[in-house]
Chain A
Amino acid sequence: MSRIQRQRIVDGEPIDATNLNDRYNDFAQPGALNQYNVRDSSIDLPQLKADWFTRNSWEQTLGEFNLSHSSVNTVAATTGGFPVAGHVVQDFGGTPSILNFGLGGLTIGTDEVLRLYWDLSVRPSYTGTPWTAVGSFSKYQFPDPPKTGVVDVATSADVWVMYPEWDVTSSLLTNFVPVPGQGDFNTNYTGARYGNALPDCEATTVIPAWVQVAFNAVDGSVSAPNLYDSGIGWRGVSGAWHYVGAPTTVYGIRWIIKGILHPEQATNVNYLGFDTVAGGTGTVQLEYTSGKAQAMIMRLG
């Protein structure tokens, strides 16, 4: 703080050079042009405009809230028919949940970052043991010494995917495409296999479809009776993505769910591809209720 504490000159008080210099020193504040007064104490958050760093933020409910799960949305696993459009995250009435930036959209400048976060309550489920189906990619075969044969063990790597799409064309919101760095899992990468190379999964949230564990594995082998599989159960899943790049105006963002997909490799590239065999065995589905999406636009500095 730099406040003059000296009393005013009053009648009868001598006005000589010493007096004046003292008063001038009060005003001049020897040492005032220091780090504290000019840097540390000169400007702080109150002096910065409210949008100095974070220009704006938005929030949107995804799906529809239902704590008891008496109502849910259900997504069935893909069994073929590519390209797959996927399921748009929506409320129970079928209205898509869109993070809408209005008629003018949101313009992202070159010195700005759009941060995007989402979460959703989901319940993957299945019937039977889809991973054991002939032609499924979802199992490994390990030695089973008691039978001198092999035993199918689920890889537990099958997943549902959830990713954002944005519309950068108009506020009519009729031209959604995956956000930059994110593919639509419709790439035909080998034979009849469709999916994404992993570098094209920048905005993907994966959701495990099931899990199987083995107890008492001995000397590199496992016996079938020691296998236990389980549904994942209701859980909250989340995701995050951000955009920095060419100036863009975004009008809306929605989320897509597809499944089930499984890891595999082709020509030394890692892919996440549809396992239509496992997905078409029994009833493989994903239920969901609600979640939130948040967007925030910030300056880079």
Chain B
Amino acid sequence: MKHWTQRQALDGVTVSPDSINIEMQAQRSSITTLDRTQIPTNLVDHNNTEQNAIAQVWQDRSVGTGGEQSAARDTKTVSNGWQCITYSTGLTGWNSIGSSFTLAGFKGGSLYGEWSGNAMVFPAFCSTSGNIYPGSPRYCGLRILVNGVPLVERRGVALHEHFRVFGVGRFPQGDLVVQLQIHITDADPNDVLYVSGIGNTNVPQVHVYSNRYLFIGRYR
């Protein structure tokens, strides 16, 4: 609160109009009792605010290993396919496409996050013997975890195509740890996993590349 600076009114002291008038004049430039309804609009330029005071952006347009997922990389795949996830790599469930990363300095509030890239899924054996009700369409599920909580989750890609997932959530103050995760359809007992021949014959099943992310924290 403000304090008297000119003539504090004490009991027993003679008072006059100046007792309050002078004090008011001395403090009339103060804005500590003004709120946003009394402050002019378009007052604050970007140069008037501290860095990240109101919003903050984190980004990487080549996340993972050169933008490629590194959850698994089978080197025994066929030559006309990528070194990527095969059923020989044993992946199941949700897996991070690379190391987690931290949204350092998040001040608490709204968080928007988007993750985009390309995903290749080998779709041929979507309906194997004895697995037709329903079939087992191959797909690559996608989700963004923030401090272990899903920000967005999607069933994802079923062919070789581009994807973009985005979501918004509210999170408390503090650094946020983010994981970009994929989920591949598990192998079926009748699946065809190897091409004919000798040597590197594993069939590429899933790969995710061109990975990029952009997060925006809004603190107001």
Q: Is A32 an interface residue (CB 8 A)?
A: yes
Question: What secondary structure prevails in chain B residues at the interface with A?
Answer: loop
Q: A140-B195, A270-B84 are in contact. Are A49 and B45 (CB under 8 A)?
A: yes
From A41, A42, A52, contact of B45 by CB (8 A): A52
Shortest C-beta distance, A119 to chain B (Å), equals 10
**Interface contact tally, CB-CB below 8 A:** 265
CB contacts under 8 Å to A, within B89-129, are 114, 116, 118, 120, 122-129
Specify which chain A residues have a CB less than 8 angstroms from the CB of B129 in the assembled complex: 216-219
Point out the residues of chain B lying under 8 angstroms from A188, CB to CB.
none
Check if A301 sits within 8 Å of B57, measured CB to CB. Answer: yes
CB distance from B41 to the nearest CB of A (A): 4
Secondary structure of the A side of the interface? Answer: mixed
Interfacial chain B residues near A29, Cβ < 8 Å: 1-2, 32-33
| Nearest A residue (CB) for B3 | A28
Our pick among A25, A137, A217 for the contact of B80 (Cβ within 8 Å) is: A137
User: Is B198 among interface residues, defined by CB-CB distance under 8 A?
Assistant: no
Give A156's nearest chain B residue, CB to CB.
B123
Complex: chain A residue closest to B66, CB-CB? A199
Assuming the contacts A46-B36, A208-B161, A218-B129, asked whether A202 and B62 have C-beta atoms less than 8 A apart, the reply is: yes
Cα-based distance from A14 to B165 in the complex (angstroms): 69
Cross-interface CB contact of A222 among B17, B78, B84, B192, cutoff 8 Å = B192
What chain B residues lie within 8 Å of A222 (beta carbons)? 124-125, 192
Interface size class of A (residues with CB under 8 A): 35 or more
**Given contacts A206-B118, A207-B161, are A263 and B9 in contact (CB under 8 A)?**
no
Which of B19-27, B145-153, B169-177, B178-186 faces chain A?
A: B19-27
B88 at the interface (CB under 8 A from A): no
Identify the interface centre among A47, A48, A141: most chain B CB within 10 Å of its CB: A48
A173-215 to B contact mask, C-beta < 8 Å, 1/0: 0000000010000000000000001110111111110011111
Cβ contact within 8 Å between B59 and A113: yes
List residues of chain B with CB within 8 A of the CB of A24.
4, 9, 20, 23
